[in-house]
Chains A and B, each alone.
Chain A
Amino acid sequence: MTDSALTATTGRHTSHGDTAPRHGRFRSGTGALFVTPYVLFLVVVFAVPLGYTLWISVHRFYFTAPGTHADAPWVGLANYRDVFTDPVVGRAFLNIAVFLVINVPLTVLLALVLASALNAKIRFRTFFRAAYYLPYITASVALVGVWQFMFGTDGFVNHLLGPHAPDPSWLVNSHLAMPMIAFFVTWKQLGFFVMLYLAALQNVGAELYEAASVDGAGRVRQFFSVTVPGVRPATTLVVIYAIITGANLFSEPYLLTGGGGPDHASTSPVLLMYQKGIEQGHPDFAAALGVVLVGFVLVISLAARKLTERGN
């Protein structure tokens, strides 16, 4: 496009008055209209609670009946100091670290391998896809019941192991409780991540596998040289999603290990927020812990993103 053409076009628009700017305003107004419901949703369910949480976290605060006066003095970072000096909080973050170390690599590995297998033309493919997805859509409470039946002191697994069963048993053993939760969540969520990888695999061209085959690559080499790089954006998504889900762990320690037991060995930060904020009436402490958790998840997620996107 030449300068004269630009001039001509501009002149033509000008000759018709301010049609283009009005059109632009109309478009931006329509866009704003479409965006407004979601913005309102974000403000109401995310931004306002987050702002309120930040406010609570720097005040001595507790919930009171409507219309009654309760002092909520500014305490600066005192709630954060309480959070960082509470040994149970430290234990909860350590537990989450143990959880993530087991859960995230296992999730990525199993989900990618299973997705690759289910992407191939195998018999009963639809059945297997549904079977892996089933735990994901089943209520945690029901699945916890199954695991208690399997891993309880008198459970199915201990009957199989006989004298080799751990003592104390799996779910009340301070060394095994958190790994058990990590395995449980990996198994429960696997179907969802397999679906993500299956979708990503549809974008890996068959010609890449053909080319690799022509170059003499076997199945394993094709997996590492074609499949893994081909689904890297999905891997980033899976890793970040698994980290966020893991860091927000609540139902499993609440139900499977009887409220974060034994002796806080499976307590998670979110469970602790619930116990401190709701059960024990310290919403200020819980709010500060929540803010710390948000920071923790952001840092870990950014690090994971850098790591998984390295070499792109």
Chain B
Amino acid sequence: MLRRTAYALLVLALAGATTACGRSAVDPGAARGARGPITVWLSNNAQEVAWGKTMVAAWNRSHPGQRVTAQQIPAGKTSEEAISASIVAGTSACLVFNTSPASVPTFEKQNGLVPLSDFPDGDAYIKKRGGALTEQYASQDGKFYQLPWKSNPVMILYNKKIFKKAGLDPEHPRLATYAQFLETSRTLVRSGAAKAAIWPAPSSEFFQSWLDFYPAFAAESGGRQFIEDGRVRFDSTAGRRAAAFWRTLYAEKLAPQELYPGDAVNDGKAAMATVGPWAVSAYKDSVDIGVAPIPTAAGKPPGDTYSFSDEKSAAMFSACRNRATAWDLLKFATSAEQDGTFLDATGQMPMREDLTARYPAFFAKKPLYKVFARQAERVVEVPNVPGSIDIWQAFRAEWTKSVVFGDGSTDAALRRASDKITKLLDEYGDPS
């Protein structure tokens, strides 16, 4: 009986392994120079979809033999999950114009990405387009597996009407220092003008720290990354100050501990939010918008304040059979002309230096975006290290426990997170 069971299990394991190995592969040598029809995926942001369709139509008009089809990334909890699943299934699009840099190490490990540096003009094009901004996006082997495409530099967006209702000056909000921000928040909530001063997601998903801790840390530290040179950088005075600031917001119930089932800013429940320029068009019909830099302990001039980039890259995936067409399309879609069209359609910042000088007409027409464009020159990215998602998840677990729910000191939580992440970096063999 035992022998029979063992045989059955062996057959099952073999069947499973055979099934797993049965997927068809693309020959990279043949694909690199191949031209022909390709598919690209866009995010589900309405403005981005509209731009993508226009861009693809322009390409198709001049390249009848290399037809491009654009569609939204298949539905999933996050785009990254859908992309990861498509890599494994071998069904990903040639290009995805919404690739999170934090997921790039994972996609690399899955052999899902085509190194753009392997194209003869790959590195040159990426560096020429993005200038100094591109440095943070090279992988550990020195190659670019992503083209840094556009950023949504995170700033404080506030609702002028709610500020006015609370008796605050909406044109000159006192939000520069932690003390001012907390005092303004208390006024907003205690006056009954808003249920919450600010309402970021307090939940435990790894990426949620990009909209609470990371912008605050970037601002307070003067532009340090979460991890630099293979070492944890957030367990520092700047990190401890940022954590203590957020802890006060939660402890005084200025920021709720519960996830809002909708959009708290749009519904008028929260007076402020940490968002990028995408929100300007999203809220234009519901919120009278004001924008301020991320606060710091002592207050810094806007020109010296850093933030998180919330950048999204364009990447080429290994399921692509016509990679020469895909590379040409990638350059077409990120050309100066298309970047201008993208900026105009979405308000999001192409990853180019000196945007206000390059696209003066847009910023003259829509001056609110100017502050985001200036912020885009002082942004930090998530570190491009193996195990990136594990690292952020380890941090988030300590954050929710101590900062959101007040269990233990925030200093001790940062120390624990630092120890865990150091161990993870060792496990993943970070060579930097």
Residue B299 interfacial (CB < 8 Å) = no
Quick check: B205 and A259 within 8 Å, CB to CB? yes
Interface mask (B95-124 → A, CB under 8 Å = 1, otherwise 0):
000000000001001111000000000000
Name B257-298 residues within 8 Å CB distance of A: 257-259, 261
Task: Given A50-B12, A68-B111, verify A63-B205 contact (CB < 8 Å).
Answer: no
Of A67, A153, A260, the residue contacting B204 (CB under 8 A) is A260
A63 touches B84 (CB 8 A): yes
Interface stretch, picked from A51-59, A220-228, A295-303, is: A51-59
Residue from the list A65, A263, A279, A280 in contact with B111, Cβ < 8 A = A65
Measured CA separation A53–B13 after assembly (Å): 8
Residues from chain B with Cβ under 8 Å of A54 in the complex:
9, 12-13
Given A49-B16, A51-B13, also A65-B393 (CB < 8 A):
no
- A residues less than 8 Å from B328 (CB atoms): none
- Cβ of A153 and Cβ of B258 under 8 Å apart? yes
Q: Complex: how many Å from CA A129 to CA B8?
A: 45
Q: Are A51 and B90 in contact (CB under 8 A)?
A: no
Residues in A whose Cβ lies below 8 Å from that of B405: 168, 172, 174, 262-263
Instruction: Kindly list chain A residues whose C-beta atoms are within 8 Å of the C-beta of B404.
Output: 262
**How far, in angstroms, from A264 to B404 measured CA to CA in the complex?**
13
Q: Check B15 against A48 for contact (C-beta < 8 Å).
A: yes
**CB-CB contacts of B223-260 with A at 8 A, as 1s and 0s?**
00000000000000000000000000000000011110
Cross-chain pairs A/B with CB under 8 angstroms, 13 sampled: A50-B12, A51-B11, A52-B12, A65-B25, A66-B25, A67-B26, A68-B111, A148-B261, A154-B195, A258-B203, A263-B204, A264-B397, A281-B106
Per-residue B-contact encoding for A72-107, CB less than 8 Å = 1, 0 else:
000000000000000010000000000000000000
Q: How far does the Cβ of A267 sit from chain B's closest Cβ, in whole Å?
A: 9
Question: Which residues of A are found within 8 Å of B12, using beta-carbon distances?
Answer: 47-48, 50-52, 54
CB distance from B222 to the nearest CB of A (A): 31
Tell yes or no: A230 within 8 A of B by CB. no
- Specify which of A55, A69, A145, A278 is in contact with B261 (CB 8 Å cutoff): A145
Q: Which residues of B contact A174 (CB under 8 A)?
A: 405
Asked if A64 lies at the interface with its beta carbon under 8 angstroms from chain B, I say: yes
A68-B90 Cα distance, complex, nearest whole Å = 11
Known contacts being A66-B90, A152-B258, A169-B258, is A55 close to B16, with CB within 8 Å? Answer: yes
A246–B132 alpha-carbon span in the complex (Å): 53
Does B84 lie within 8 Å of A278, measured CB to CB? yes
**Which residue of A has the minimal Cβ distance to B19?**
A48
Which residue of chain B lies nearest to A171 when distances are taken between CB atoms in the complex?
B258
The reply on A183 being an interface residue by CB < 8 A is no
In the complex, B87 has a CB within 8 A of chain A: yes
Residue A214 interfacial (CB < 8 Å) = no
Q: A52-B20, A67-B24 are in contact. Are A172 and B13 (CB under 8 A)?
A: no
Judged by a CB distance under 8 angstroms, whether A261 is at the interface is yes
Q: Interface residues, chain A, CB within 8 Å of chain B?
A: 43, 47-55, 62-70, 88, 145, 148, 152-154, 168-169, 171-172, 174, 258-264, 275, 278-282
Separation of A47 and B202 alpha carbons in the complex (Å) = 40
Pairwise interchain contact A65-B318, C-beta atoms closer than 8 A: yes
Question: CA–CA, A100 to B258, complex, Å?
Answer: 25
Complex Cα gap A16–B106 (Å): 72
> What is the chain B residue whose CB lies nearest that of A152?
B258
In the complex, the chain B residue whose C-beta lies closest to that of A63 is B88
Residues of chain A lying within 8 A (CB to CB) of residue B204: 258-261, 263-264
* Shortest Cβ distance from residue A85 to the other chain B in the assembled complex, whole angstroms: 13
Contact A51 B16 (CB under 8 A): yes
With CB as the reference atom, state the residue of chain B lying closest to A154.
B195
Q: Are B23 and A66 in contact (CB under 8 A)?
A: yes
Are A278 and B81 within 8 A (Cβ)? yes
Nearest Cβ on chain B to A28's Cβ, whole angstroms: 20
- Cα–Cα distance between A43 and B16 once the two chains are bound (Å): 10
The residues of A that contact B261 with a CB separation of less than 8 Å are 145, 148, 152
Interface check B400, CB cutoff 8 A: yes
A48–B257 Cα gap in the complex (Å)? 43
With an 8 A cutoff between CB atoms, is B206 at the interface?
Answer: yes
Question: Could you list 4 further interchain pairs (A-B, Cβ under 8 angstroms) beyond the known A52-B17, A52-B20, A66-B88?
Answer: A52-B13, A55-B16, A66-B25, A263-B405
When C-beta atoms are compared, the residue in chain B nearest to A155 turns out to be B258
Q: A68 to B111, alpha carbons, bound, how many Å?
A: 7
Cα–Cα, bound, A165→B173 (Å): 34
Q: Find residues 22-65 in chain B having any chain A CB closer than 8 Å to their own CB.
A: 23-26
- Complex contact A67–B25 (CB within 8 A): yes
Q: Is the beta-carbon distance between B206 and A279 smaller than 8 angstroms?
A: yes
Task: List A contacts of B300 (CB < 8 A).
Answer: none
State the CA gap A65–B259 with chains docked (Å). Answer: 35
Residues of B within 8 A of A88 (CB): 397
Q: Does B407 contact A (CB under 8 A)?
A: yes
Please give, as numbers and ranges, the residues of chain A lying within 8 Å of B16 by CB-CB distance. 48-49, 51-53, 55
Q: Decide: A279 and B81 in contact? CB cutoff 8 A.
A: yes
A64 to chain B, nearest CB (A): 5
A279 to chain B, nearest CB (A): 7
B319 at interface by CB-CB < 8 Å: yes
Q: Give every chain A residue within 8 A of B331 (Cβ-Cβ).
A: none
The chain A residue with its CB closest to the CB of B91 is A66
In the complex, what distance in Å separates the CA atom of A48 from the CA atom of B389? Answer: 30
* Cβ contacts under 8 Å, B203 to chain A: 258-259, 261
Pairwise interchain contact B389-A280, C-beta atoms closer than 8 A: yes
Q: Are A70 and B257 in contact (CB under 8 A)?
A: no
A65 is contacted by which of B14, B110, B258 (Cβ under 8 Å)? B110
Please tell me which one of the listed residues B111, B201, B202, B206 contacts residue A70 in the complex, with CB atoms under 8 A apart. Answer: B111
Residues of B within 8 A of A275 (CB): 393
Cβ–Cβ < 8 Å partners of A263 in chain B: 204, 397, 400-401, 405, 407
Taken together as a complex, chains A and B put the C-alpha atoms of A54 and B88 apart, in Å, by 19
Contacts known (A65-B88, A280-B393); A153 close to B256, Cβ less than 8 A: yes
B390 within 8 Å of A by Cβ?
yes
Whether the pair A63, B258 counts as a contact (CB closer than 8 A) is no
Closest chain-B Cβ to A16's Cβ sits at a distance in Å of: 37
Q: A258, B259: Cβ atoms under 8 Å?
A: yes
- Across the interface, do A279 and B389 meet the contact criterion of CB distance under 8 Å? yes
Q: How far is the CB of A13 from chain B (nearest CB, A)?
A: 33
Q: Which 9 A-B pairs have the closest CB atoms?
A: A67-B25, A51-B12, A52-B16, A66-B23, A68-B111, A258-B203, A66-B90, A63-B88, A55-B13
Q: Which of B370-394 contact A (CB under 8 A)?
A: 389-390, 393
Distance in Å from the Cβ of B82 to the closest Cβ of chain A? 11
Residue of B nearest to A283 (CB): B88
A2 to chain B, nearest CB (A): 38
How far is A82 from B101 in the complex, measured between Cα atoms in Å?
A: 28
Report the separation of the CA atoms of residues A64 and B85 in the bound assembly, to the nearest whole angstrom. Answer: 9
* A55 lies within 8 A of B401 (CB): no
